[in-house]
């Protein structure tokens, strides 16, 4: 599945690079899903790749919970609705109206859902690399999610990341150890449609901006 079976370093040619660029360009945050199921072995392949993500000290601090129970999904939806209603209040006028029209989750339709946590007291890695910046464990967990995102898209599967929830409510819902921090709630399924342009751009909420603004050619001093 991972292409590592021969043990030889693969050669990534121009054709692969073109396809890889397409994969990155066409990865989307998806909120509109078809409800058809995803074969479990396909999800297992994506998770196996997510588990190969880089992590500080090789700690692999990600903890993925497969959320299949309808009652737990309903609790997540309720947590989203509460947090989203609160978030909507920070906007006024046209922006408030636009925010109210955005679809920011796909919980009702997504056939596969995960709550992804970071184990903050993870012994694996023996503390390497996280003494001055303990948040590296969380960033490592993000790497795992992003690897899953790309692996899923390469199989025609979409993923939507939900952060509009009170993390305490989700931690409570799943009864996870207090040392686990919620990183994201993920909705996974076949997209109702494919787009190269992000949904928030298509809905006129936020466009991408030129990258010269982000990649500085020199330091400040």
Ligand X SMILES: Cc1cc2nc3c(=O)[nH]c(=O)nc-3n(C[C@H](O)[C@H](O)[C@H](O)COP(=O)(O)O)c2cc1C
Residues in contact with ligand X by the rule CB under 6 A? 28-29, 31, 104-105, 161-164, 198, 200
Which residue minimizes CB distance to ligand X?
Answer: 198
Residue 128's CB: how many other CB atoms inside 10 A?
Answer: 11
**Shorter beta-carbon distance to ligand X: residue 143 or 200:** 200
Sheet holding 180-189, edge to edge: 62-66, 112-119, 180-189, 158-162
Least gap, CB of 103 to ligand X (angstroms):
7
Least gap, CB of 134 to ligand X (angstroms):
19
Best CA proximity match to 155, nearest among 108, 112, 213: 112
**Shorter beta-carbon distance to ligand X: residue 125 or 191:** 191
Least gap, CB of 85 to ligand X (angstroms):
14
Place of tokens 């023996």: 126
Span between the terminal Cα atoms of the chain, in Å: 47
**Shorter beta-carbon distance to ligand X: residue 174 or 205:** 205
Least gap, CB of 213 to ligand X (angstroms):
16
**Shorter beta-carbon distance to ligand X: residue 121 or 163:** 163
Cα gap 96→114, rounded to integer Å: 30
């Amino acid at each position: 599945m991972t292409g590592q079976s021969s043990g030889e370093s693969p050669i990534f040619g121009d054709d692969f690079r073109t396809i890889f660029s397409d994969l990155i360009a066409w990865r989307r945050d998806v909120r509109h899903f078809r409800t058809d199921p995803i074969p479990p072995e396909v999800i297992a392949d994506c998770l196996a790749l997510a588990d190969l993500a880089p992590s500080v000290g090789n700690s692999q601090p990600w903890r993925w919970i497969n959320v299949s129970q309808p009652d737990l999904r309903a609790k997540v939806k309720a947590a989203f609705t509460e947090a989203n209603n609160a978030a909507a209040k920070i906007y006024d006028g046209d922006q408030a109206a636009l925010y109210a029209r955005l679809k920011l989750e796909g919980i009702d339709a997504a056939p596969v859902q995960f709550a992804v946590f970071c184990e903050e007291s993870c012994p694996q890695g023996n503390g390497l690399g996280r003494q001055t910046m303990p948040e590296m464990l969380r960033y490592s967990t993000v790497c795992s999610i992003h690897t899953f995102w790309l692996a899923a898209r390469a199989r025609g599967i979409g993923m939507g990341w939900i952060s509009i929830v009170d993390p305490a409510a989700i931690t409570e819902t799943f009864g996870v150890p207090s040392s686990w921090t919620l990183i994201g709630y993920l909705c996974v399924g076949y997209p109702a449609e494919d787009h190269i342009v992000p949904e928030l751009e298509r809905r006129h909420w936020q466009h991408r901006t030129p990258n010269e603004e982000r990649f500085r050619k020199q330091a400040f001093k």
